[in-house]
Homo-oligomer: A and B are copies of this chain.
Amino acid sequence: MFTLDQARAFVAVAEELHFGRAADRLHMTQPPLSRQIQKLERALGVVLLLRESRGVRLTEAGRAFLDECRHLVTKAEQAPRQARLIAAGEVGLLRLGYTAGSAFSILGPLVASIREELPGVAVELDEMVTARQLGDLRSGRIDIGLARPPFDADEVESTLLLTEALMVAVPGDHPLALRDAPISSSELRGEPLIMHSPEQARYFRDLVTGLMDVRDDQISHTSSQVLTMVALVAAGQGLALVPESARRLGMAGVNILPLRESPVDLVQLHAVWRGDSTNPALSTVLPLVRRLGEQAAKG
């Protein structure tokens, strides 16, 4: 076989049509260049050049091989640059899992700022609940997730991205809908409630039950999706406790009102990732994620 150096040498000779000038261009002397070309021709079993007293001509095969060599040489020059960019995380793919809820709050700004500041990083989005995010992180199917606590600190690293209050979603025609002051949990006693699914939305379920008493016969529906819950409220099926960001849904016929017992930072959304991830795109994106979290804490 032949070497890349031989390919480069042949390109030089074929372009200069002169061994001496080609040798200059390659920063070497003429005799070893002649030998390399001879060796190349022997390796191929093909005459590439016609040596004439006044220089050199290309054979037909030489012309074709010249094209191949040019491609080969440029490709060989591109490859390392590409690899370096990927290693630096400036180019690459970030597979991101997110909860349906986060789509109303931090997901948009996060994806937008990645696109703007790291245009080489492609983001692959996949909506999934927290539990599946953790599983997919472990198996390497995603690189980062936007999820609800709790996380096993041995398995993943995380940073707080966003906090918000839990609020009450009330149908527009409900007596409480026009209330100015925060609603107290005691006022919800006896009201039909749309609750979070205990498996798929364990985090919210626990938040709500930690905040107030919920009687089983009070639960009219269970759901794992904020969108569904608000839609059911609009349909008059009951009240629901949802994060403040649900307001962004702009669902007609539903008022989303403060709940006295909820601290403003009750509901948390974190970014989660594997500390031992080998995807350089993750390391590049992480500072940006942390900055977004700090901005949210301040603003």
Contacts and interface: CB of A to CB of B under 8 A. Distances in A.
B4 A87 contact: no
Interface in A1-19: 1-5
What's the number of copies of this chain in the assembled complex? 2
Contacts of A78: 68
A68 B64 contact: no
A61 B80 CA distance: 9
Interface string A281-294: 10000000000000
B68 A75 contact: yes
Interface stretch (A30-38, A45-53, A149-157, A180-188): A45-53
A87 B59 contact: yes
Interface residues of A, number: 39
B59 A278 contact: yes
A238 interface: no
Contact of A68 (B48, B57, B79, B87): B79
A103 interface: no
B59 A82 contact: no
Given A44-B83, A80-B43, A60 B4 contact: no
A122 B3 CA distance: 30
A71 B75 contact: yes
A104 B280 CA distance: 68
A60 B44 CA distance: 35
A279 interface: yes
Contacts of A71: 75
A76 interface: yes
A64 B80 CA distance: 10
Contact of A65 (B4, B64, B83): B83
A80 B3 contact: no
Interface of A: 1-5, 43-48, 50, 57, 59-62, 64-65, 68-69, 71-72, 75-80, 82-84, 86-87, 92, 278-281
